Amino acid sequence: MPKCRLRTLSIVAMSVFDVFKRVSQAPTNPKPATGPRVFDVADLYAGPVQAGLGGETAGIALDEKLRQAYFWVVNHAIISPHYDIEYNDGPAQRYAIGDGRRPLTLPSAQSYSSFILLPLLTFVTRRKCLFVGGPGRGKTASAILMGVLAGYPVREVRRAMQHGHPQMTIADLLGNPLPADLVGAQSMDDIRIAWRSWLSMRVKIVDEYNRIPTRTQSALLTVMGDNYAEVLNHVFECPESAWYLTANDDQGGGTYQVIEALRDRIDVIVHALAFNPRFLDDLLLRVEENVRPEDLVPQEIIFSEAELDRVGEEIRAVEVPDDVRRRLEFFASQFELFEMAGVQFEYMTKDTARLSGVEWAQVVAADNGRDRLKDLGCQTRNGVSVRNLMTLLIFGKALAYFRGNSAVELEDLRQILPFVLRDKLLPDLDAPFFSLPENAGYRTDRVSWLRRLFDLACDEFDRLDLDRNDAVGKIAAEFARGLDGVSESETRARLTKIERLVGEYAKARKLYGHLFDDLQKLKYLHQRYTNYLHWLRRQ
Amino acid sequence: MALSAPFARLLAAGRADFNARMAAAKRQVPGFDTDAFAAFLQTAADSVVVAVAAEAPESAGPVASAAYDIGLTLVAHGLIGPTTRHPLVGRVWTELAPRIVQRVVASPTAVLGGLCNAALNLSRMPSVRGDIWLQNMAILADRCADTRELLALGQVLAWRSGAAHLRAGALAAADRLPPALALAALGAEAPSTWDEVKAGLLANPWWSPERASTANAPAGREVGNFAGFGGIFPEPPQVRPAPDGFWVKSADRYSLLIADAWGAVLAPASEDEFAHPSADVAGAASLEGARIVFGYGAVDIDLPAEGLALVCNAHSAALVSPYTYAIRLYPLK
C-alpha cells in the first residue's frame, strides 16, 4: 500500500506542483535592453501560476534558453551548491577561514557551479569535457543529462554510453564486420560493418575512459580527434558532437595509462566536488517522489540540432576585445621560454628541453640569472599550446554568451582558464613559488593555482602599463594596415624602428617570456619588411 | 467561515487526491502556510465554485480542481493570505471571477490563472491603479464572447489603468475586440467610432477619448518622489530624451520613463542608454524664468528658477529641478 500511495502522489505532484519540471520564466540573468524597447502586452498574464496560455518560451533567445537549462539542472537535477565560478559587480564580502586563513567569498553578482556550467558550455560548443572525481559524485548523471538536452531519450543515451573496461576491444568500441560477409568476401569492400550506434550521436559519453586498453584508446583518439571511425578500410563519418568522458582519477590512474594524445584532445576538465550532506533533504525528496531528474527534463530546455548550430554561430560571433586578447597573449607568453634549453633564439623553449630527453631537473639547474620567484615561466614545465589557446577563446566566448554578453570580459577568461589548462599547463612543483608556505595549497589545488597565475600575469601587465605602452603592438598594427603604397624610404624607416626597439630590448639583458615573444614578433615583422623591400627594389 | 455545501461536497468526493496534492506542496515548499490555504478555499475559491455550481453545476468539479491547484501555487508564493502584499490577487476571486462564470467554465486554469497573474503584475507596478482595472473588468468582462476577448480586454484595461508601457500592445488588443467593447474599455463617449478613437490615440499619447468631448488642456503629471517617503528616487533626478519617453538618472539608478494620458511607468535602464539619449526636440517648449511656454499656452511653476531643466521628446516635456525629487511631465500639444 505505501508504494501505491507514493506512486499516486508522484503522478499528482507531476501535474500540479511540478517542481522538477519547472523552468525559470523570468530572465535568468536580467540585463537592460540594448536595442529598442519592446514591452510585450502578453506578459500581463505571465507569472507564477501556470495558466497554460502558451507562448511562454516562443521566440526565446537561445542564450536565455541555455541559462534556463543551467538553472534547471542546478536547481532540480544535479545537487551542486559549489559556486566556484565567481562574478562580482561590486565589492564582494570576503572572509578568511580556518587556520590557513583561506578566503571565502560571497560574490555580489550571479555566480556559477563549474560542475554544471562547463558541461553545458561543452554541449553548445560541441567540445570535449572530462569529469574527474570519486565515485558517486554525479559525473555520469551529468553526462547523461547533456545527452537528454540534445533531445535523445534517456534510454537511448544510457545504451549509447561506452563503459571503459580492460577487455574493451576496437570492435566493442566501433563495430564489427558482419560475420557472413567475412566468410564470403573477395575484397575488403565486400565486408559490411555493423557500426555502433553511439558513433552517430551528437552527444558521446565514455565512462571511465582510463580503463580502456591502450590499443583501443588509439581507435578512440581517431574518433575524438578526427571525427571518423575506421574498421577494415571502411570509414564512418561522425557528426559534430559534444564528448563527455569520466575518470575517477585525472592523473592517469585507472587500469591503463591514458595516452597523451588522447588527454590532449580533452578541452576542459571538471572536478566533481563532494556532496554536501546539508542537502540530504533534496535526495530524500527524490527517494520519496521516486523520480530521476534525467527522466523529467522539460521540453523547453531541449535543444534541436538546428538550435545547436545557431548557438554555435552566435557564440563564434561574440567579440574578444583587443585589450582582453592582449592580456591573454601576455599570459600565454610567460611559459614557453627556457633560455638555457637552446642556443639559437627560436629554440630557447621548454619544448626543446623536453624533446632532448635531458632530465628536467638537470636543465633547470643550468638556469640562472632570472628571478625564479618572480618569473611566472618558472612555475611550469611547459607552455600553452595552440589547441589550448583556441579552446580558451571558444570557451571564453561561450561563457560570455551564456552570461548574455556580446563581448568577452577579462573575468570570463579568468574564470574559464583553469578548466581549460588544468591538465595542459603542468606545474613545476620544485619551483621556488611552490616552496613558499603561503603557496603550499597551490601544489594540490590546480584550479586555484592557474587562476592565481593569470592574476599574477595581469598584475605584471598592469605594472608594465602595456595597455597604453605597447611599442610592439603599435608596430604590428602599422604592418596590419597593409604594405600597399608603402614607399622604399618608409619601409626603411620602419625597419630602423624595429631594429632600434630590438636594440632597446637587448640592453635589458634579462629575458622574460613576453619579451621573448615580442622579439620573435619583431623579427617576423623585420623579415616581412625586408622581403617587401627586396620586392620593391626589383620593380 | 465555513465552506459552501457544493464545494464541500466536491472536496469530499476527491478527498484522497486533494490531500495528496496538498501533501506534495507542503513537502516541496518549506513553510507552506496551510492556514492561508484553508482561508483561500473558504473565501476565494468558494465564491467561484458557488457561482459556477449555480450556473453550470456540471462544471463545478473541474473548476474546483483548477482553483485548488492555483491556490496551492498562490499560497506557495505568498501571494494570498492575510500577510500578502498583493491583495488584488485575492479580489480577482471574489469580485471578478464569480461574474464571468461562462468564461471560467470554458477554461478554468487559463482564466483564473491568467487573471491572478495579471493582478499580481499590476499590483507590482506602484503607479498602476490595479483597483480601477479590477473594477472595470468586473463591469465589462461578461461582454466578452470567449477567453481570447477576455484576455484582450484585460490588456486594454491594464493600459487604461496606468500601464503606459503596454500602450502599443494594448492598442493592438483593442483592435481585436468588438468595436463597442473596445470603446467601452477605453471610456470613449458617444458618438465616437472606434476608427476615430484609434486614430486619436495613435496621433497623440496624451489624448484620451474620456476627455475628447471636454477638450480641456491636459494638466500633465508628476512622477517619482523621494525614496525615503515611499518614492523611488534617492536623489533629484536628471532626464534625457528617449524615443518613446525619457531616460532618467537618480544617483546610480537608471530608468526609462514612459508616460501617456493614462499613466507613467518607470522601467529599468542602463547607464549606457542614459549616456546615449535621442535628440532633444528643440523649440517644442521653453523655460522663461519660472514658466514653461508651450505652443498652446504657458504653465507657471512653483519651483525656484535656479537649476530648472526642461527636456522634450516628440510628445512630452519633462521638467526637473534640484529642489524636487519628482519629474513633472507635460504634453506638448
Domain with A208 in it: what CATH number?
Answer: 3.40.50.300
Task: Say if residue B234 is in the same domain as residue B198.
Answer: no
A528 falls in which pLDDT band (50, 70, 90)?
very high
Residue A398 is assigned to a structural domain of this protein: yes
Q: What percent of chain A has pLDDT over 70?
A: 90
The parent domain of residue A162 ranges over: 114-274
> Which residue is closest to A46 within chain B, CA to CA?
B117
Mean pLDDT of all residues in A354-379: 84
Mean pLDDT of all residues in B22-48: 87
Contact A32 B254 (CB under 8 A): yes
| Domain-terminating residue out of A242, A274, A306 | A274
Mean pLDDT of all residues in B237-254: 91
Mean pLDDT of all residues in A303-309: 90
Residue A415 is assigned to a structural domain of this protein: yes
Residue A18: left if φ>0, alpha if ψ -120 to 50, beta else—which one?
A: beta
Tally the domains of chain A.
4
Assess A19–B contact: CB distance below 8 Å, yes or no.
yes
- What is the CB neighbour count within 10 angstroms for residue B41? 22
Task: Say if residue A248 is in the same domain as residue A209.
Answer: yes
Residue B120 is assigned to a structural domain of this protein: yes
pLDDT of residue A2: 34
Of B24, B113, B172, nearest to A12 by CB-CB distance is: B24
- Of the listed ranges A15-24, A281-290, B148-157, B253-262, the least confidently predicted one is A15-24
Highest mean pLDDT among A27-31, A62-66, A187-191, A457-461: A457-461
Give contacts of B170 with chain A, Cβ < 8 Å: 41
Contact B166 A39 (CB under 8 A): yes
Type and span of the H or E element at A95: strand A93-97
pLDDT of residue B216: 44
Inter-residue long-range contacts of A378-381, CB under 8 Å, 24+ positions, other chains counted = A378/A428, A378/A431, A378/A432, A378/A433, A379/A427, A379/A428, A379/A431, A379/A433, A379/A434, A379/A453, A380/A335, A380/A350, A380/A425, A380/A426, A380/A427, A380/A428, A381/A350, A381/A354, A381/A426, A381/A427, A381/A428
d(CA A455, CA B79): 47
Of B25, B110, B270, nearest to A17 by CB-CB distance is: B25
The C-alpha torsion from B80 through B81 and B85 to B89, rounded to 10°, is 30
pLDDT of residue B217: 46
Which residues numbered 221-280 in B keep a CB inside 8 Å of some CB on A? 243-244, 254, 256, 267-270, 272-273
Q: Kindly report whether the global pTM for this prediction surpasses the value 0.90.
A: no
pLDDT of residue A35: 54
pLDDT of residue B225: 82
Of A8, A32, A45, nearest to B118 by CB-CB distance is: A45
Answer whether residue A375 shows pLDDT above 80: yes
Contact A37 B168 (CB under 8 A): no
pLDDT of residue A6: 30
Task: Say if residue A130 is in the same domain as residue A153.
Answer: yes
Assess B149–A contact: CB distance below 8 Å, yes or no.
no
pLDDT of residue A79: 80
d(CA A320, CA A396): 9
Contact B23 A9 (CB under 8 A): yes
CA distance B204 to chain A (A): 19
Type and span of the H or E element at A171: helix A170-174
Higher per-residue confidence, A87 vs A186: A87
Task: Say if residue A148 is in the same domain as residue A8.
Answer: no
Give contacts of A13 with chain B, Cβ < 8 Å: 20-21, 24, 28
Q: What percent of chain B has pLDDT over 70?
A: 96
pLDDT of residue A278: 87
CA distance B290 to chain A (A): 34
Task: Say if residue A42 is in the same domain as residue A132.
Answer: no
Contact A32 B21 (CB under 8 A): no
Higher per-residue confidence, A423 vs A25: A423
Residue B210 is assigned to a structural domain of this protein: no
Answer whether residue A16 shows pLDDT above 50: no
Task: Say if residue A122 is in the same domain as residue A270.
Answer: yes
- What is the CB neighbour count within 10 angstroms for residue A78? 18
Contact B113 A49 (CB under 8 A): yes
Assess B67–A contact: CB distance below 8 Å, yes or no.
no
Of A16, A17, A36, nearest to B243 by CB-CB distance is: A36
Give contacts of A49 with chain B, Cβ < 8 Å: 70, 73-74, 112-114, 116-117
Which residues numbered 89-118 in B keep a CB inside 8 Å of some CB on A? 109-110, 112-114, 116-118
d(CA A378, CA B306): 64
For an interface test with B, the pick among A12, A22, A44 (most B C-beta atoms closer than 10 Å) comes out as A44
Task: Say if residue B189 is in the same domain as residue B226.
Answer: no
Residue B127 is assigned to a structural domain of this protein: yes
pLDDT of residue B211: 63
Residue B19 is assigned to a structural domain of this protein: yes
CA distance A514 to chain B (A): 35
pLDDT of residue A12: 36
Residue B212 is assigned to a structural domain of this protein: no
Task: Say if residue A332 is in the same domain as residue A452.
Answer: yes
The C-alpha torsion from B129 through B132 and B137 to B143, rounded to 10°, is -130
Residue A303 is assigned to a structural domain of this protein: no
CA distance B111 to chain A (A): 7
d(CA B160, CA B245): 18
Model pLDDT for residues B301-326, shown as the tens digit of each residue? 888 888 889 998 888 899 999 999 99
Mean pLDDT of all residues in B109-121: 94
> Which residue is closest to A289 within chain B, CA to CA?
B24
Task: Say if residue B184 is in the same domain as residue B261.
Answer: no
Contact A52 B23 (CB under 8 A): no
CA distance B170 to chain A (A): 6
Residue A296 is assigned to a structural domain of this protein: no
Task: Say if residue B58 is in the same domain as residue B194.
Answer: yes
A37 falls in which pLDDT band (50, 70, 90)?
low
pLDDT of residue A24: 64
Contact B117 A48 (CB under 8 A): yes
Q: What percent of chain B has pLDDT over 90?
A: 58
Give contacts of A17 with chain B, Cβ < 8 Å: 21, 24-25, 28, 69, 72-73, 76
First and final C-alpha spacing in chain A:
97
d(CA B135, CA A223): 67
| Domain-terminating residue out of B170, B203, B236 | B203
d(CA B201, CA B168): 10
Type and span of the H or E element at A307: helix A305-316
Task: Say if residue A387 is in the same domain as residue A368.
Answer: yes
Task: Say if residue A440 is in the same domain as residue A485.
Answer: no
Count how many pairs of residues, chain A against chain B, have C-beta atoms within 8 Å: 115
pLDDT of residue A10: 33
Residue A86 is assigned to a structural domain of this protein: no
| Domain-terminating residue out of A430, A463, A496 | A463
pLDDT of residue A323: 93
- Residue A168: Cβ-neighbour burial (10 angstroms; 0-12, 13-18, 19+): buried
Residue B208 is assigned to a structural domain of this protein: no
CA distance B296 to chain A (A): 31
CA distance B154 to chain A (A): 9
CA distance B310 to chain A (A): 24
A184 falls in which pLDDT band (50, 70, 90)?
confident
Model pLDDT for residues A237-259, shown as the tens digit of each residue? 999 999 999 988 655 456 778 88
Task: Say if residue B130 is in the same domain as residue B98.
Answer: yes
Mean pLDDT of all residues in A472-477: 93
Contact B73 A39 (CB under 8 A): no
The parent domain of residue B160 ranges over: 5-203
The residues, any chain, with a CB within 8 Å of residue A281's CB and separated by 6 or more, are none
Residue A314 is assigned to a structural domain of this protein: no
pLDDT of residue A373: 83
Encode chain B in three state secondary structure.
Answer: CCCCHHHHHHHHHCHHHHHHHHHHHHHHCCCCCHHHHHHHHHHHHHHHHHHHHHHCHHHHHHHHHHHHHHHHHHHHCCCCCCCCCCHHHHHHHHHHHHHCHHHHHHCHHHHHHHHHHHHHHHHCCCCCCHHHHHHHHHHHHHHCCCHHHHHHHHHHHHHHCCCHHHHHHHHHHHHCCCHHHHHHHCCCCCCCCHHHHHHHHHHCCCCCCCCCCCCCCCCCEEEECEHHHCCCECCCCEEEEECCEEEEEECCEEEEEEEECCEEEEEECCHHHHHCCCCCCCCCEEEECCEEEECCEEEECCCCCCCCEEEECCCEEEEECCCCCEEEEEECC
> Is the previous residue joined to B191 through a cis bond, with omega within 30 degrees of 0?
yes
Instruction: Provide the mean pLDDT of chain B.
Output: 89
| Domain-terminating residue out of A409, A444, A463 | A463
Model pLDDT for residues B150-187, shown as the tens digit of each residue? 999 999 999 999 999 999 999 999 999 999 999 999 99
The residues, any chain, with a CB within 8 Å of residue A218's CB and separated by 6 or more, are A259
Tally the domains of chain B.
2
Mean pLDDT of all residues in A377-383: 92
d(CA A122, CA A533): 47
Of A5, A45, A288, nearest to B114 by CB-CB distance is: A45
pLDDT of residue B215: 43
Mean pLDDT of all residues in B238-251: 91
Contact A47 B120 (CB under 8 A): yes
pLDDT of residue A1: 33
Task: Say if residue B78 is in the same domain as residue B14.
Answer: yes
Task: Say if residue A133 is in the same domain as residue A224.
Answer: yes
Mean pLDDT of all residues in A469-476: 93
- What is the CB neighbour count within 10 angstroms for residue B234? 14
CA distance A286 to chain B (A): 11
Higher per-residue confidence, A75 vs B256: B256
B287 falls in which pLDDT band (50, 70, 90)?
confident
Residue B137 is assigned to a structural domain of this protein: yes
Residue B59 is assigned to a structural domain of this protein: yes
Model pLDDT for residues A45-97, shown as the tens digit of each residue? 888 888 777 544 445 788 999 999 999 888 888 887 889 999 998 888 999 99
Instruction: Provide the mean pLDDT of chain A.
Output: 86
Residue A280 is assigned to a structural domain of this protein: no
Residue A403 is assigned to a structural domain of this protein: yes
Task: Say if residue A371 is in the same domain as residue A451.
Answer: yes
Task: Say if residue A170 is in the same domain as residue A233.
Answer: yes
Of A32, A39, A43, nearest to B273 by CB-CB distance is: A32
Task: Say if residue B168 is in the same domain as residue B25.
Answer: yes
A43 falls in which pLDDT band (50, 70, 90)?
confident
Contact B154 A41 (CB under 8 A): no
ipTM of this predicted complex?
Answer: 0.89
pLDDT of residue A8: 30
Task: Say if residue A129 is in the same domain as residue A222.
Answer: yes
> Which residue is closest to B67 within chain A, CA to CA?
A49
B309 - beta bridge partners?
B320
Mean pLDDT of all residues in A260-287: 87
